[in-house]
């Protein structure tokens, strides 16, 4: 039986890996936005996407569970921000319905992983709590 890989770095976390893929997808999609959006929606979407993985990375080495939860929660907030911006990008015609579907499917996958990750992290702080 193959032994489960020990998580040593934030890059070993599946939630970070899937969120990183979302960052790459966001950069690819925003390349086609109007030049006038470079400092508007393009920049906002890229910053929100990068913030997802950055907060996971920043929370990972923290010794305090409270701090870990804080950073992972900020990551969740950034994901929600990006999801909102994707609706805007679709509705103003910057991304097609198909592109929207592809990137939001990845966003939903990250959302599920992040929720599970947060729940697991909280369970270490409050072992008897039901979330």
Pair 131, 122: CB distance under 8 Å:
yes
Domains of the chain with CATH codes? 14-22+47-125 (1.20.1440.60)
Which pLDDT score, from 0 to 100, does residue 131 have? 45
pLDDT (tens digit per residue) in 52-79:
999 999 999 999 999 999 999 999 999 9
* Residue written as token pair 């909280």: 122
Considering the entire predicted model, what is its pTM?
Answer: 0.89
Q: How far is CA 60 from the centre of its chain?
A: 14
Which burial class, exposed, middle or buried, applies to 126 when counting CB atoms under 10 A from its CB (0-12, 13-18, 19+)? exposed
Which burial class, exposed, middle or buried, applies to 122 when counting CB atoms under 10 A from its CB (0-12, 13-18, 19+)? middle
pLDDT (tens digit per residue) in 21-58:
999 999 999 999 989 888 999 999 999 999 999 999 99
Which pLDDT score, from 0 to 100, does residue 3 have? 54
Handedness of CA 121, 125, 128, 130 (dihedral sign): negative
pLDDT at 111 over 60: yes
**6 CB neighbour count, 10 Å cutoff:** 6
Q: What mean pLDDT do residues 79-86 have?
A: 98
């Amino acid at each position: 039986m193959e032994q489960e890989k020990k998580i040593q770095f934030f890059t070993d976390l599946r939630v970070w890996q899937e969120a990183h893929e979302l960052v790459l997808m966001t950069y690819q999609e925003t390349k086609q936005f109007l030049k006038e959006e470079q400092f508007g929606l393009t920049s906002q979407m890229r910053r929100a996407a990068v913030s997802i993985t950055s907060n996971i990375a920043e929370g990972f080495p923290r010794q305090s569970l409270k701090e870990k939860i804080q950073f992972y929660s900020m990551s969740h907030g950034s994901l929600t921000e990006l999801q909102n911006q994707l609706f805007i990008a679709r509705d103003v015609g910057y991304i097609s319905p198909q592109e929207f579907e592809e990137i939001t499917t990845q966003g939903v996958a990250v959302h599920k992983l992040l929720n599970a990750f947060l729940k697991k992290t909280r369970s270490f702080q409050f072992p008897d709590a039901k979330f």
